[in-house]
Amino acid sequence: MNTLNELDRRLLMDRSVEGRRAVALPESDVPAQPMPDAAMLRDELPLPEISQLEVIRYFSLLSHLNFSIDTNFYPLGSCTMKYNPKLNDAMASLPGFAGIHPNQPAEQVQGAVQLMYELQGALGEVTGLPGVSLAPLAGAQGEYAGLLIARAYHDMRKDSARTVALIPDSAHGTNPASAAMTGLEVVTVPSTADGNVDVEALRSLADERTAVFMLTLPSTLGLFEPSILEITELIHSVGGLVYADGANMNALLGMVRLGDLGFDICHSNLHKTFSTPHGGGGPGSGPVMVTEELAKFLPEPVAVLDGDTYRLTEPENSIGKINGFHGSFNILVRAYTYIRAMGGDGLKSVAENAIINANYIQAQLKDRYDLAADRYCMHETVLSATRQKKRGVKGLDIAKRLLDHGIHAPTMYFPLIVEEALMVEPTETESKETLDRFIEVMRQIDDEVTNDPETVRTAPHTLPVTRLDEATAARKPYLRWNHTP
């Protein structure tokens, strides 16, 4: 069996030569010290003995086994794996940013607090929701903070019977989880056959118990919600608040502002739209944005300009701190750099190109693959491998076969309401040549499903690891080269 674990051993242990060293230290000029109690010493320590070059080569080779956006097309839906300009990293590495301590008083780090203040302003402008806190450390934590704000708002009005969060079945999975974390009861709103919120169903569910309606926009089907104005008005008419999961702002930048649509609260993922590399679970940043009326509830800190001094403050009725310090500061620097470098027109062109790229792929593949919804999509398109499944090949097999072509798998089996879902998000940073190649490969794989399904079912054939037990890999990872299970 060709596991990564065995590959490690082959690479490292097979290189070991007794007595070989990576560094040559000078003769010691300090007196030798007595060894500790012999019972505490090991008899043997089987480490590979290899030269410095071999160590470098080993780790470099290993790093080449990674898929990354810097090496491969990465159309992982809902994740916005776009190219992150290296300028962002350079700015985040400036000693004046990288070297400061979170306990330094604001007077000593005026530039950093100014950056937070201006980033708050930019995000308020982009979303049309001017109250901003940069504290949340992830999209899900932004949701949590936003829902606590909704609760605090109702509590302050002594409207405490509002305990229900209405959430469509096309929502991102974190939405119901965050609502449950804040103690709200989750009630699911069905979608219509063409992927919109079922407004009539919503009308019958919205009442004096509604604390918040939470909408992922664009939805996990990659769609805009055409009834959004009717929906926000309906929720407000029963006294509820409207929350936008704006984790994926790629399709909205400069096109429409959530505040103008009637949303009261939203969050956005800086580690998706605003160009911070991500993956593997962190780090992230999910600022929360609210209307002026709700700004007094924001989590601390919020940067303000007081005369000509920038300060970090706790809003009047703040829900408090949601983590130790000021959020993921180095991600804030990257987002700020990205926004300033792109400018307003640049951000708008991000949305235009993200939308065109996704629709191009959808249009070029819809004769071969079913669509979750046969209409214009936004920044991503959800394909379905139902036609291929009838020929004995699953969405998973297609995703694995793409790896043989140097293309990262799309998001699979999500959203849950789409059978055999393959969620493709090309992003705005890919060239037409790359999109054309992806389309060609997807069409080729569909031919293969007819002519040689076994090759697809047993893919990938070119990678050192093939079909992993992903649950065990995540829960019991082998982190040592000589791990023996």
Ligand X SMILES: *Cc1c(COP(=O)(O)O)cnc(C)c1O
For ligand X (CB under 6 A), the number of binding residues is 13
Task: Determine the Cα–Cα distance for residues 257 and 105; give it in Å rounded to an integer.
Answer: 35
User: Considering the rule CB under 6 A, would residue 174 count as an interface residue with ligand X?
Assistant: yes
Does the protein bind ligand X through residue 138 (CB under 6 A)? Answer: yes
Closer to ligand X at the Cβ: 273 or 362? 273
Q: Min. distance of Cβ 74 from ligand X in angstroms?
A: 15
Measured from the Cβ of residue 378, the count of other Cβ atoms closer than 10 Å reads: 23
Asked whether position 277 contacts ligand X by CB under 6 A, the answer is no
Pick one of 176, 240, 259, 284: the residue that binds ligand X (CB under 6 A).
284
| Positions 23 through 52 that interact with ligand X (CB under 6 A) | none
User: What is the secondary structure of 419-479 as a DSSP string?
Assistant: TTEEEE---TTS-HHHHHHHHHHHHHHHHHHHH-HHHHHT---SSS--S--HHHHHHS---
Check residue 151 for interaction with ligand X (CB under 6 A): no
Nearest distance, CB of residue 77 and ligand X, angstroms? 9
Among residues 119 and 459, whose Cβ is nearest to ligand X?
A: 119
Cβ atoms of 362 and 410 within 8 Å: the answer is: no
Residue 276 binds ligand X (CB under 6 A): no
Please report, as residue ranges, which positions from 187 to 216 form the binding site for ligand X (by CB under 6 A): 216
Angle of helix 4-13 relative to helix 52-64, nearest 10 degrees, comes to 160
For CA atoms 319, 321, 326, 327, give the dihedral sign: negative
Nearer to ligand X, 48 or 246 (CB): 246
| Structure token pair of residue 391 | 């020929």
Segment interacting with ligand X, rule: CB under 6 A, options 34-42, 127-135, 136-144, 402-410: 136-144
Per-residue mark of binding to ligand X, 59-88 (x: CB under 6 A): -------------------x----------
DSSP assignment of 92-140 equals HTSHHHHT--TTS-GGGGHHHHHHHHHHHHHHHHHHT--EEE---SSHH
Binding to ligand X, residues 96-125 (CB under 6 A): none
Q: Would you say 119 or 145 has its CB closer to ligand X? A: 145
Using rule CB under 6 A, residue 140 touches ligand X: yes
Instruction: Report in angstroms the alpha-carbon separations of 87 from 90, 308, 337, 450.
Output: 5, 29, 8, 46
Query: How far is 425 from 379, CA to CA, in rounded Å?
Result: 6
Residue type, 228: I
357 or 388: CB nearest ligand X: 357
Please name the helix (run of DSSP H) or strand (run of DSSP E) that holds residue 231, with its range, or none. Answer: helix 228-237
Residue owning tokens 């898929």 = 67
The strand pair at 309-313 and 381-384 is best described as: unpaired
Q: One symbol per residue from 246 to 265: x for binding ligand X (CB under 6 A), - otherwise; what is it?
A: -xx-----------------
Q: Which stretch binds ligand X (CB under 6 A): 10-18, 48-56, 138-146, 299-307?
A: 138-146
Which is nearer to ligand X, 425 or 448 (by Cβ)?
425
Q: Is 377 in the site for ligand X (CB under 6 A)?
A: no
Window 230 to 249, contacts with ligand X (CB under 6 A)? 245, 247-248
- Measured from the CB atom, the residue of 112 and 423 that comes closer to ligand X is 423
**Of 217 and 383, which has the nearer Cβ to ligand X?**
217
User: What would the DSSP string read from start to end of 382-429?
Assistant: EEETHHHHHTT--HHHHHHHHHHTTBPPPEES-STTSTTEEEE---TT
Residue with tokens 């090496």: 71
Identify the helix (H) or strand (E) that includes residue 216.
strand 210-216
Stretch that binds ligand X, among 101-109, 137-145, 342-350, 368-376 (CB under 6 A): 137-145
> Does the footprint of ligand X cover residue 225 (CB under 6 A)?
no
381 lines the binding site for ligand X (CB under 6 A): no
CB of 449 to ligand X, least distance (A): 29
Residues in Cβ contact with 176 at an 8 Å cutoff, skipping those fewer than 6 apart: 165, 167, 186, 188
Q: Which residue has 């990564």 as its token pair? A: 4
Among 120, 250, 269, 276, binds ligand X (CB under 6 A): 269
Tokens found for residue 212: 């918040």
Q: Please tell me whether residue 411 binds ligand X under the rule CB under 6 A.
A: no
Interface ranges with ligand X (CB under 6 A): 78, 138-140, 172, 174, 216, 245, 247-248, 269, 284, 286
